[in-house]
Amino acid sequence: MSLLAVENLSVAFPGHVAVREVSFAIEPGETLALVGESGCGKSVTAFSVMRLLPPNARIVSGRILFEGGDLLAASPPEMRAIRGKQVSLIQQEPMTSLNPVLSIGAQIGEVIRHHDKLSRRATRARSIELLDLVSIPDAHRRIDDYPHNLSGGMRQRVMIAMAVACGPKLLIADEPTTALDVTTQAQVLDLLDDLRRQLSMAVLLITHDLGVVAQWADRINVMYAGRIVEQAGIQPFFARPMHPYSRGLLGARVDVDADEHYSSNRLSEIPGSVGSAAGEAGCPFAPRCPLVEPSCRAAPPPLLAFEAERRVACPVTLEAAHHG
Amino acid sequence: MAEVLLSVRDLHTRYAVGKQVLRAVDGVSFEVEQGETVGLVGESGCGKSTLGKTILRLVPSAEGEIVLDGTDITRLGDSAMAPHRRRLQMIFQDPFGSLNPRQTIRTVLDTALKVHRQGDRPERERRMAEIVTRVGLPADALDRYPHEFSGGQRQRIGIARALVLRPALIVCDEPVSALDVSIQAQILNLLVDLKRDLGLSYLFISHDLSVVRYFADRVLVMYLGRIVESASHATLWRDPRHPYTRALFAAVPSADPTHKRGAPPIKGELTTDLSSGCRFCSRCPAATDRCRSEEPPLRSVGEGHHAACHYA
Amino acid sequence: MSVEAGKLADFGNRAAVPRKGRRLRAFLRNPTFVAGVVILSFFVLLALFADVLFPGDPLDMVGPPVLWPGESAEFPLGTDSLGRDVLAGLVHGARASLLVGLSAAAIGLAIGMVVGAAAGFFGGWVDTLLMRVVELFQTTPTFLLVVVIVAIGEPTMQTIALAIGIASWPTVARLVRAQFRSLREADFVMAARSLGYSNLRIIAQEILPNALPPVIVAASVMIANAILTEAGLSFLNMRDANVVSWGGMIGNGRDLLRTAWFLTALPGVAIAAAVLSLNLVGDGLNEILNPRSDP
């Protein structure tokens, strides 16, 4: 049984549908990357798992099965017991995720004591252990520091400490390093990867950065305008991206290792913008797709399997691949 | 030998933060030649944005000279600066904050033209229509408000604003960092086209190494207010000499899962402790006593290649 | 060319975003705002057509004294102790109260915006100096300040409006200063500076239009407060004897509070309704003008 199985999830806001019929699964201990640009619905999907959507959001359909139980049917007290203990979340902006008027020790302690009723002294000891675990130097002194005494990278480590404090089975990381410098980003992602192995934790990594995905994820789901358009293992995906949007994304990206320069290469663009998907009856990517055919605009293409572990929502590509 | 458009000599910018003085730009010198794109790369806190704003005279400099077209513009008054402002413009990072939400695009562009007395009404209309088309926006964009456009389109408007006075040099302050990858490619391609068609030069400021690698002719790496390495783009990537540059390259993840990087050879995080010696020594894996006591000067380590390290 | 394709496809985005016409509809869809505007319009119309509806001087003694409302068809709301028509008084009083409210608010806004803009934009010693002046005014209880100013001058409508305006500008100044301080750092202001625009142009054309929404909301509250202050002054007999105002009517009815309480109640209701309508308009404007993040 998968650790997390999202089945046919659709989430709507007044005026538009953010997530459409999204289905995917995460196995224990693996890192699944949910990749897409702004407006693709990846963050909304993550917040749906935690049941932390804003009040004007409506879950139109679907189930979110965590270890077999449907989170969407859980009561508020049941969800509160799950959040922080079984499923944790870290977000992009450590500046605003931490409470500025409480010391970091107090905030980590709060998480621990909410779930695992420990004494004050035991909580403090555990907090110091956690700060060591996330490589905060001088943990026994820094535990009394306030968020403003710490740098961005250290605050993100504190967030990670809080998220893993109770040994969750699943950690949702929503753009965890986007706001950090690249040298700090590498350190934080390495830390997350180490912790994942040590604590046998699965990670749902939400990001727009394909470099991060290539280095740290096991499997990838590409999202566009609320739908999943491609699912694959990491190596097969980067060796041969199939969906036109995936290919466009990789083509538009400048890779630091590639010897490309404007004087000799032009970046391949995806024309237009994601706004063109609004009101589209067929494939949401059709207005921008170089391979579009009339049949694409009739109905949204389903995710169809291609080889083991790979699914693509583009019949045109699949047809060409089977014949080619 | 191309003509030197901008020459920055020993520039310093300082901020007072409470009782302390923050030396955001601490002695920077470089040149931008006609038709060249100089990339300025560094992480947060290195002073690259402040340097850009100082060059534009948006932030007062403490010491040093900014020489544009052979004229020292460092301490010019507002009216004396006006003709130079036409030559030197800026593109900003945030497509949402860089446009006045209550002005139509026409107002934005027309005001610039009127204030600088660039022609009568029909002439201004013609120039506005031309620039809007050139940046890839439809002609009726002029009568719309910023909120009616997407992020990428707003960045095009920002570029139009920078271009409308026909500058020679544009300082681009993280122009694509706030955009989606697919839109980044559109804007970068646009900037390349504009450079070629209008003979522009750029000072391209970014924290994104991959983008700078693609876009710049020459690259300056900044750390804590100083340039620590400068070279042509090919040289820098082939043969980085400064430990910080190497650490930066090692840290950028590559979209090739078979190419796994090791942990970046760098410890800890940015501190602003500029007591003595090399400002990178607290994080450098190869720091020696000499590094801790003696600040290395930016010296030549090859043809057109400079690095500020005793051991480069 | 890919740029062409970009132009065309991008414009699918427009449909989801409000255009100028839709903003007007947003105004009309807000029930708070609409209710406030309706009530306020009623008073404005009364004020404008006071002379048409009730020609002659409302201070004329036209009937028997202390007639109750409903007793006589000629005086639907009765008469006061001197035989003056209460309804005529209320309608003319609307004009006086609204005029005082508007002029006082205008004076307060004018002074407050200039001071706030200068302090917020320039910072440094200008800010420090101006803020000390603001504090000087704010430490004095508003009503007392008004009383003092009116006592020094003559209690005419103009003086009263001026006094209230002088007492209320500090709040506007602080509001405008806060807006300017934050907007001053905005990228589009920096862009304006990089284009070589003068400080005056930046203050007036770039920042001020963006600083207005909270000021407009504050203005409606200021008008309401001005009406109340004027009523308070009139009640204390510091009023223009030649003009009928609601506060004056309340003051006149004070002696007959136990027997002819309608003389106090009716103008009181008028004041309450006018103040309520202004607050509703202010709340409605606040909801409409404040930027909301759309999903």
Residue A191: inside a domain: yes
Give the pLDDT confidence score for residue A72 in this predicted structure: 92
A16 and A141 belong to one structural domain: yes
B185 has pLDDT over 50: yes
- At A186, the amino acid letter reads A
Bin A29: left if φ > 0, else alpha if -120 < ψ < 50, else beta. left
Q: Tell me how far apart the alpha carbons of residues A175 and A43 are, in angstroms, rounded to a whole number.
A: 9
Residue A82: inside a domain: yes
| Residue C93 domain boundaries | 87-280
Q: What is the mean pLDDT of chain B?
A: 90
Residue ranges, chain A, pLDDT below 50:
none
Q: Which residues, 6 or more positions from A34, have their beta carbon under 8 angstroms from its beta carbon?
A: A24, A42, A45, A46, A204, A205, A206, A207, A221, A223
Supply C149's token pair: 């100013």
A182 and A302 belong to one structural domain: no
What is chain A's alpha carbon radius of gyration, rounded to the nearest angstrom? 21
What are the chain C neighbours of A279 within 8 Å (beta carbons)?
12, 15
Please answer whether residues B222 and B46 qualify as being in contact, where contact means their C-beta atoms are separated by less than 8 angstroms: yes
Give the pLDDT confidence score for residue C281 in this predicted structure: 87
> Which of C10, C194, C210 comes nearest B102 by C-beta?
C210
Each residue's pLDDT tens digit, C138-163: 888 888 888 888 888 888 888 888 99
Give the total number of structural domains in chain C.
1
Contact pairs from chain A to chain C, CB under 8 Å: 45
Please report, in angstroms and rounded to a whole number, the separation of the first and last CA atoms in chain C.
33
Measured over the CA atoms of residue B268, residue B269, residue B270 and residue B273, the dihedral's sign is negative
Q: Binning pLDDT at 50, 70 and 90, where does residue B116 land?
A: very high
A48 and A145 belong to one structural domain: yes
Residue B61 burial (10 A CB sphere; 0-12, 13-18, 19+): buried
A207 and A316 belong to one structural domain: no
Give the pLDDT confidence score for residue C256 in this predicted structure: 84
- At A38, the amino acid letter reads S
A151 and A197 belong to one structural domain: yes
Q: Is A101 helix (H, G, I), strand (E, B) or coil?
A: coil
Q: Is A9 helix (H, G, I), strand (E, B) or coil?
A: strand
Give the total number of structural domains in chain A.
2
B272 has pLDDT over 80: no
Q: Tell me how far apart the alpha carbons of residues A161 and A135 are, in angstroms, rounded to a whole number.
A: 10
CATH number of the domain bearing residue C198: 1.10.3720.10
Distance from CA of B174 to the nearest CA of A (A): 14
Each residue's pLDDT tens digit, C98-122: 888 899 999 999 999 999 999 999 9
CATH number of the domain bearing residue A212: 3.40.50.300
Contact C201 B115 (CB under 8 A): yes
What are the chain A neighbours of B260 within 8 Å (beta carbons)?
215
Query: So where are chain B's domains?
Result: 4-307
pTM of this structure: 0.86
Residue B87 burial (10 A CB sphere; 0-12, 13-18, 19+): middle
Please report, in angstroms and rounded to a whole number, the separation of the first and last CA atoms in chain A.
36
Please answer whether residues B9 and B65 qualify as being in contact, where contact means their C-beta atoms are separated by less than 8 angstroms: yes
Q: Binning pLDDT at 50, 70 and 90, where does residue B273 land?
A: low
- At A216, the amino acid letter reads W
Which residue, among B214, B240, B213, B215, has the nearest Cα to B229 in the 3D structure?
B240
Residue A199: inside a domain: yes
Supply C200's token pair: 């005056």
Q: What is the mean pLDDT of chain C?
A: 83
Q: Binning pLDDT at 50, 70 and 90, where does residue B74 land?
A: very high
B271 has pLDDT over 70: no
A33 and A180 belong to one structural domain: yes
Distance from CA of B118 to the nearest CA of C (A): 13
Residue C217: inside a domain: yes
Please answer whether residues A173 and A90 qualify as being in contact, where contact means their C-beta atoms are separated by less than 8 angstroms: yes
Residues 256-295 of C with CB under 8 A from A: 294-295
Residue C79: inside a domain: no
Residue A259: inside a domain: no
Least-confidence region, from B166-175, B259-268, C81-90, C187-196: B259-268
Bin B117: left if φ > 0, else alpha if -120 < ψ < 50, else beta. left
| Residue A132 domain boundaries | 4-217
- Interface confidence (ipTM) of the complex: 0.88
Distance from CA of A287 to the nearest CA of C (A): 7
CATH fold of B4-307: Rossmann fold (3.40.50)
Residue A258: inside a domain: no
Contact B254 A154 (CB under 8 A): no
Supply A210's token pair: 């394909």
Please answer whether residues A16 and A41 qualify as being in contact, where contact means their C-beta atoms are separated by less than 8 angstroms: no
Contact A215 B260 (CB under 8 A): yes
Supply A145's token pair: 């520091």
Q: Is A288 on the interface with C (CB under 8 A)?
A: yes
Q: Which residues, 6 or more positions from C25, have their beta carbon under 8 angstroms from its beta carbon?
A: none
Residues 132-151 of B with CB under 8 A from A: 150-151
The chains found to touch C (3+ Cβ pairs under 8 angstroms) are: A, B
